[in-house]
A and B are shown apart, each in its own frame.
Chain A
Amino acid sequence: MKIAVCIKQVPTREWQPRLNDTKTWIREQEASYEMNEPDAYALEEGLRLREKHGGEVVVCSAGPARVQQVIREALARGADRALHVEDDALGAADAFTAAQALVPAMKEEGFDLILTGLQSDDQGHAQFGPVLAEKLGVPHSTIIMEVVVESGSLKVKRELEGGWFQYVTMPTPALLTIQSGINQLRYATLKGIMAAKKKEIKKVTPPAGLASRLKVVALYAPQKSKQTVMIGGAAAEAAHELVRRLREEARAL
């Protein structure tokens, strides 16, 4: 089975946002980066499927040279080789652009299964997977908690809202977006890290004419729109007033 895992490099959870001078994007140079967490679960799922069914795992990533960090990490954890669509402008690419950037090179490979995280921890569009599936002409399913490979098809457990799930079957090749927590992540080993250095990272330039669909005109810290309403009085009075406001004003009850 030829499995692709699309991974993204995102700022770390501990990163403090710093904006550029026009306040339309972050200062990419100053951020520290890590692998997008849901993508790490997708990678682990890919590795487990390969261990069960054979084949290879190819990590695919679009981004500037810095994304080699997460590509190497994926190779160290056990991916066989990598495809890197490299361009500085891809650091700020939206989901649609990133998918388009990857399509030609991924089409050429002819993967049986494409896995990726359900969304990214940076832009969080939650679009990349389904868009890539559409561009590659394969079926997809999203927010997957279990993958069973059958002959020529997949049976997956899709998460619905409120504790509901459903099984969905579809033919391969197919694309799945993986939910965090589907499995437990392995650690990279010393030998894995050493082996990663010898693995192939194929660098590809993105297709010409990529244009962003989403223009960020302002980027800012969340603003609190409401003033804090302080409720005074004795306990019973305060409780009464709070519950009234929660019911009537905030409609939170």
Chain B
Amino acid sequence: MERETLEVDVLIVGGGPAGLSTALRLAQLQKARGGEPLSIAVVEKAREAGAHQLSGALLDPSALAELIPDFKAKGAPLAAEVTNDNIYYLTPRKRLRLPITPPPFRNHGNYIISLNLFTKWLAEQVEAAGIDLFWGFAGQSVLFDGNRVIGVRTGDRGVGKDGQPRGMFEPGADIQAKVTIFADGVRGHLTKELMRTLQLGQSSEPAQFAIGLKELWEVPKDRLAPGTVIHTLGYPLRQEEFGGSWLYAMPNGRISIGFVVGLDYKDPLLDPYSAFQRFKQHPFIAGILAGGQVIRYGAKALPEGGWSTQPKLFMDGGLIIGDAANFVNSLRLKGIHLAMRSGMLAAETAFDAIRAGDASAHALSAYKARVDASAIKSELYPVRGVHQAFAGGLCAGSAFAGLAMLTGGLLPGDMGGHPGHTRIKRLEHYYGMAKQDILSGSNAVAPDRKLTFDKLTSVHYSGTHHEENQPVHLLVHTEVCHTICGEEFGHPCVRFCPANVYEMVDDGQGRRRLQINASNCVHCKTCDIMDPYGVITWIAPEGGEGPQYDGM
């Protein structure tokens, strides 16, 4: 069967806030400046707008106000304006209110949103501007001409587990573009390919990540005033771990609750999912959720490394934006506005390049200059290295964060850092005893199926769906799993995966074998990031599959 091809001026890979802002800005530039109309395409692996979008989310509206000044009149779905900020330090039974809300946690003028609904709305604006949006098309690989990016090949559809066509096989399409903009999100698998092939990470620090787990709840309507924002530090995490929680109250008793754990923890037996469940059992949180009902679950990695971990943002024929470029302010727990702004700046650069007929790395370097002159740098640069400082523990990190804010970044900010997965310790190093003793006690929370749930039940609430009859989209060198990993780390994939994808099962001959339940995957990318041997690679499953984050 013949492979479909398409040629466009600008191809945007990823239909999140970054990619959609790029598309909309391009349409605006086209309209404002006229001339030969640009052909623009957006491809996105989710089956519909917003389906894979998961965030807290608090929206700093600064970029939105520039992109769509009349966003309120256009019906932007802003669930609630933030009315009060609260930050607590939790001990196992108590909470200590921080006397003042530190500046990065102040959210006056920000909005609580569902990123799923916000993205849907943004996509409507893009669609209305006449841009072609292709949902359900996963980018599979980057098309190169030498070192020049010339587009993206989308994934084959209709391939069976055995690699043979099943049903109506449809080979992936080659979409060629003068400029390809990579907005493939946190740990984007195409951006990862670019970084490896073009060595885009040479002069930046190793990226840092965290995993965010989220549940959407409905509680009695008078429980919390809409607009209430609560953040917590502490329990159930320890001093050595980076992380904390959020709890945002929306109208009609809707609560967004989530838990973040830095993917640079040392304890090989830590299970971020269990930590989240345990957190919900804290009297303060359990009281808020009592009598409520969980309606959605999801998880997603988030970039934590900040400014100094951004890769080289431009190349011949290509740009990287949004989460894929690690543009997240981990101190403020915000990235949507940065994603949008980077998309807008990329759009301006791509537009100029196409008009000038020059999409070389030199021409596209204007994007980096724009980023450096923008609010992205003025926000991220002063707090560079904050996450890396947390590697020294919560107190050191907090102190550093405070200083960084106060001094505007006049600190030895470039602290270096190591990829988070290299910090996980071997069982015997961490626990100082034989692994049998450690593994005998389980630290999992026994689910009550009201407040706490097992992973598989939560997977159900993510709405994730994959055709079972397709190749496994998690490539694992399993010889490691079946030999040294059990001894050294006790199979941490079983714990860090928030969706029960990885399971060690009895192989019937008294040994344990890795079973990959690929269809549970919620596309969070944690395994690709956190496995200590770097033997797991996440690739895109068939387009149109994955989670269904309605209202998240």
Touching chains A and B, CB distance < 8 Å: yes
Residues in chain A within 8 A of chain B (CB atoms): 12-16, 18, 30-32, 34, 69, 184-191, 193-194, 197
Known contacts A31-B550, A32-B48, A32-B550; decide if A16 and B134 are in contact (CB<8 Å): no
Q: Across the interface, which residues of A come within 8 angstroms of B132, CB to CB?
A: 193-194, 197
B372 located at the interface, meaning its Cβ lies under 8 Å from any Cβ of chain A in the complex: no
What is the CB-to-nearest-CB distance from B165 to chain A, in angstroms, rounded to a whole number?
Answer: 11
A185 touches B551 (CB 8 A): no
What is the CB-to-nearest-CB distance from B130 to chain A, in angstroms, rounded to a whole number?
Answer: 9
- With beta carbons under 8 angstroms apart, the residue of B136, B167, B170, B463 that contacts A15 is B463
A186 touches B137 (CB 8 A): no
Q: Across the interface, which residues of B come within 8 angstroms of A188, CB to CB?
A: 136
- Give the residue name and chain of the A residue nearest to B544 (CB): A187
Q: Across the interface, which residues of B come within 8 angstroms of A69, CB to CB?
A: 48
B463 touches A187 (CB 8 A): no
B550 touches A189 (CB 8 A): no
Known: A32-B550, A190-B137. 5 other contacts (CB 8 A): A16-B295, A16-B461, A32-B48, A190-B134, A197-B132
What count of chain B residues pass the 8 Å CB interface test? 26
Known contacts A32-B51, A190-B137; decide if A184 and B168 are in contact (CB<8 Å): yes
B173 touches A190 (CB 8 A): yes
Which residues in chain B, 122-139, are within 8 Å of chain A measured between CB atoms? Answer: 132, 134, 136-137
Q: Across the interface, which residues of A come within 8 angstroms of B465, CB to CB?
A: 13-14
B6 touches A190 (CB 8 A): yes
B471 located at the interface, meaning its Cβ lies under 8 Å from any Cβ of chain A in the complex: no
Q: Across the interface, which residues of A come within 8 angstroms of B41, CB to CB?
A: 190
Known contacts A16-B461, A32-B48, A194-B132; decide if A187 and B158 are in contact (CB<8 Å): yes
Taken together as a complex, chains A and B put the C-alpha atoms of A16 and B134 apart, in Å, by 26
B464 located at the interface, meaning its Cβ lies under 8 Å from any Cβ of chain A in the complex: yes
Taken residue by residue from 49 to 66, chain B's Cβ proximity to chain A (1 for < 8 Å, 0 otherwise) reads as: 001000000000000000
A15 touches B168 (CB 8 A): no
What is the CB-to-nearest-CB distance from B43 to chain A, in angstroms, rounded to a whole number?
Answer: 8
Taken together as a complex, chains A and B put the C-alpha atoms of A128 and B463 apart, in Å, by 29
Taken residue by residue from 269 to 295, chain B's Cβ proximity to chain A (1 for < 8 Å, 0 otherwise) reads as: 000000000000000000000000001
A30 touches B550 (CB 8 A): yes
- Give the residue name and chain of the A residue nearest to B174 (CB): A190
What is the CB-to-nearest-CB distance from B251 to chain A, in angstroms, rounded to a whole number?
Answer: 13
What is the CB-to-nearest-CB distance from B143 to chain A, in angstroms, rounded to a whole number?
Answer: 15
- With beta carbons under 8 angstroms apart, the residue of B134, B168, B295 that contacts A186 is B168
B4 touches A185 (CB 8 A): no
- With beta carbons under 8 angstroms apart, the residue of B134, B170, B295, B463 that contacts A14 is B463
Known contacts A191-B4, A193-B132, A194-B132; decide if A16 and B170 are in contact (CB<8 Å): no
B157 located at the interface, meaning its Cβ lies under 8 Å from any Cβ of chain A in the complex: yes
Taken residue by residue from 436 to 475, chain B's Cβ proximity to chain A (1 for < 8 Å, 0 otherwise) reads as: 0000000000000000000000000101110000000000
- Give the residue name and chain of the A residue nearest to B169 (CB): A187
Taken together as a complex, chains A and B put the C-alpha atoms of A184 and B165 apart, in Å, by 12
Taken together as a complex, chains A and B put the C-alpha atoms of A185 and B465 apart, in Å, by 18
What is the CB-to-nearest-CB distance from A102 to chain B, in angstroms, rounded to a whole number?
Answer: 25
| Selected A-B contacts with CB under 8 Å, 20 pairs | A12-B463, A12-B548, A14-B464, A14-B465, A16-B463, A16-B550, A30-B550, A32-B48, A32-B51, A32-B548, A32-B550, A184-B167, A184-B168, A186-B168, A187-B157, A187-B158, A187-B168, A188-B136, A190-B137, A197-B132
Query: Looking at A12, A13, A32, A197, which has the most chain B CB atoms within 10 Å of its CB?
Result: A32
- Give the residue name and chain of the A residue nearest to B464 (CB): A14
B296 located at the interface, meaning its Cβ lies under 8 Å from any Cβ of chain A in the complex: yes
What is the CB-to-nearest-CB distance from A35 to chain B, in angstroms, rounded to a whole number?
Answer: 11
A16 touches B296 (CB 8 A): yes
B175 located at the interface, meaning its Cβ lies under 8 Å from any Cβ of chain A in the complex: yes
Q: Across the interface, which residues of A come within 8 angstroms of B51, CB to CB?
A: 32
- Give the residue name and chain of the B residue nearest to A197 (CB): B132
- Give the residue name and chain of the A residue nearest to B543 (CB): A187
Q: Across the interface, which residues of B come within 8 angstroms of A191, CB to CB?
A: 4, 6
Taken together as a complex, chains A and B put the C-alpha atoms of A16 and B550 apart, in Å, by 9
Taken together as a complex, chains A and B put the C-alpha atoms of A197 and B168 apart, in Å, by 24
Q: Across the interface, which residues of B come within 8 angstroms of A185, CB to CB?
A: 167-168
What is the CB-to-nearest-CB distance from A28 to chain B, in angstroms, rounded to a whole number?
Answer: 12
